Every structure is written in C-alpha cells, then in structure tokens.
Amino acid sequence: MAVYETTRVYPIKDGLIVKIRDASPKDLESIWRVFRSVTEEKKWIPVLFVAEGEFERLSWFSHHRSGGSVILVAEIGGEVVGHCLVERDDWDAAAHVGNLGIMVIAEHRGKGVGNAMITEAIIRVREKGFEKICLSTFNTNLNAIKLYKKHKFQIIGVRKRQFKMQGEYRDEVLMELILDS
C-alpha cells in the first residue's frame, strides 16, 4: 500500500489497483453519475430522486468540506467508480461523530473497492479527531452489512418499516463503530 499525499493505493481483486483520494470539485460530475446510477437501481439507498444542477452539487461539496467531513472517491484506471462520505454530525454536541455513506457502481462491486474505501475512511476520520462512526442500511442489504461487520461495526438497533421503496417496506439497521485506540 503506497501513500501519495492525500491518495492511497490499494491492491484489490483480479490484479486491480484502486486509488482512494479526497474528492475535489472536479469530481462532482462523477460523484453524481455514481449517485444517480445507484439511485436508479431503487434497491440500496433511501433516495427516490436525485437533485441535479451545478448549484446543488457545489453547495453539497462546500457544505461538507467546510464542516470537516471526509469525502473520498475511488478510482480504477482513471474512472471514478465509487465514493464515500463521512459527514460530521449536525449537532454541535455530536461533532465527534461521523455519519457514513458509501456507494460503488454495480459493475465494480465485489472486487474490494468498498473495503478499500471504508479502510481509508476510518484512517481519515481518526486523523480528523472523530471518535465514532454511525451508519444505517436496509435490512435487505446483506452485502453492506457484511462489509460493515468486517470493519467491526456493531448493530445497535433496527427501525422497523422506516422506508418504503416501490411500495415495499424496509427496516433500517443502525450500526456504529466506536473509534477507541
């Protein structure tokens, strides 16, 4: 694993290399492409419509950057194939807590990209002084739950029928990782 400033390179499956780096405003088009394609699958994230437009993208980016969040992109062969956001909690008394979201485009799943992004996200949030990461996922998203458990996230509760996707309820599984030394 080599380090180049804010970029770290992870060898993954099939002899591939994934670059995990901080996102910049130049990545917003790619970040939105990934977000749009995952939303269109209508299976994994509780988003029904994606807000489009230059203004929405830039405000999203500057809001998170100025708030001390971590925004990473994963690149294979120069193409952004996924991203991960650890958003600093809005409550001032919970500024030590980050809320994690992650997505990889369908064609590149199961190769280790998600694993590399979570590994890097945990390094980055520790460096920024976060003490805890929270996330939630659908009860039906078994691959995501497996990935989070692999990184020692624990299930701390379930909100029943929290989302309705195409007429079907999904439970929301709440998970957290306390970043003790």
Ligand X SMILES: CC(C)(COP(=O)(O)OP(=O)(O)OC[C@H]1O[C@@H](n2cnc3c(N)ncnc32)[C@H](O)[C@@H]1OP(=O)(O)O)[C@@H](O)C(=O)NCCC(=O)NCCS
Using CB under 6 A, list all residues that contact ligand X: 38, 44-45, 102-104, 109-115, 137, 141, 143-144, 146-147, 150
Shortest reach from residue 102's CB to ligand X, in Å: 5
Which residue's CB atom is positioned nearest to ligand X? 114
Find out whether 116 and 74 touch, Cβ atoms under 8 Å: yes
Closer residue to ligand X in complex, CB, 141/162? 141
Shortest reach from residue 158's CB to ligand X, in Å: 14
Give, for 56, the enclosing helix (H) or strand (E).
helix 54-66
Shortest reach from residue 41's CB to ligand X, in Å: 7
Shortest reach from residue 92's CB to ligand X, in Å: 26
Closer residue to ligand X in complex, CB, 104/122? 104
Closer residue to ligand X in complex, CB, 58/123? 123
Closer residue to ligand X in complex, CB, 97/103? 103
DSSP sequence for 107-153: GGTTSSHHHHHHHHHHHHHHHTT--EEEEEEETT-HHHHHHHHHTT-
d(C-alpha 105, C-alpha 179), whole Å: 28
